[in-house]
Amino acid sequence: MKTTQRVRRAGLATVAALVIGGSGVAVGTAIADPATPAAAAATTTPAAAPGPELPGTHPGPASYAGVVKKVLPSVVLIRTANGLGSGVVLDTKGNIVTNAHVAGDAEEFQVQLAGNTSPRSAKLVGTYPADDLAVIRVGNTSGLTPATFGDSDQAQAGDVVLAIGNPLGLSGSVTQGIVSATDRAVTEPSADGSAAATLPGAIQTSAPINPGNSGGALVSASGQVIGIPTLAAGSPQGGGQAQGIGFAIPSNLARDIATQLIETGHVTNSHRAAIGAEVSTVLGADGSPGGVGVVTVTGGGPADRAGLRAGDVITAAADQQTPDTTALSQALAAAQPGDKVAVTISRDGQDRTVQITLGQLPGS
């Protein structure tokens, strides 16, 4: 059995570079002064009067079984000729959202509902690799339970979350963690010769995301889907998966892209910024990345209007160095179409900085 969505791994050694902005959580430990004997402290320190209860200090529930029972029927197992993954039921019409890398090049799928081993046939509705999202539609819609989606913009570091999916084909598996940070920009590894996808605004979570979880549900403690798990960080030692560092596509983005795919079969509004040029990484004399070479520019597009031309090498954008195409994608990840950014280019051995008004990344 092969899990084609594997979990997608981003090298941990590069996570610091891949992560842009976001809010995090730090946990410290108070250490008693070793010069003060514990017994003496106990006899000389009066008991403190109870203070006001701080918000958010209530202990969590002893069990999340109720949440799992509510969400599990909405998470399905997806099989292709090349592997398996997970998906989340969107509606009673049979539409299911998953990762584009789970769908791969397949046009037909077998879908298995939780607690039901009988497979159901499904077909591809549309896919958008730039955001690693796809929608498939199952023919037999009986018994489908649409998930309840929450507002991912309300997710914050410290929130308890559950990851529900089918790791290694173990259907209906659940792991638990917290939201570690929000608004991360991470880049997936390229596969099968395709360009690597940079995902802006990702939710970082400590809930384990294992091979087979991709396309499943990241769920709040109230049972609302706030993300689609898609990526796990890789450890720099041995290339294995780093524990406690996973990423999910925000539910607001997933619903928006899925709606477009359902309505037209394509993405017509990516909400993503772009410079309007085909680029590739340029290697320096020592073989290391030395910048982003402009291969072609789109006529009348942002790069063309700013005066960029084929042969230019982009070395910085939005105040960030761009040694390769991944770095450029991440520099633009937080920007919106219409924003103006400073771009430094090298042309004929001279550096110059130009202002580019960003356009929109094309849809599918």
Q: How far apart are CA 96 and CA 78, in angstroms?
A: 10
Give CA–CA dist 50/170, Å, rounded. 47
- Select which of 171, 173, 180, 214 is catalytic: 214
| 3-state SS, residue 214 | coil
Catalytic residue among 101, 183, 329, 364: 101
Rounded CA-CA distance 182/203 in Å is 5
SS3 297: strand
Catalytic residue (choose from 74, 86, 132, 251) = 132
Q: Which residues of 292-322 are buried (b: 16+ CB within 10 A; e: fewer)?
A: bbbeebbeebbbbbbebeeebbbbbbbeeeb
132 assigned to active site: yes
Counting beta carbons within 10 angstroms of the beta carbon of residue 188, is it exposed (0 to 12), middle (13 to 18) or buried (19 or more)?
A: buried
Q: Is 348 a catalytic residue?
A: no
Q: Any idea what the Cα angle at residue 327 is, between residues 323 and 328, rounded to 5°?
A: 95
Q: Where are the beta strands (DSSP E) in 298-335?
A: 313-317, 320-321
Report the relative pairing of strands 133-138 and 273-274 from DSSP bridges: unpaired
- Calpha distance 230→216 (Å, rounded): 8
User: So which residues are the catalytic ones?
Assistant: 101, 132, 214
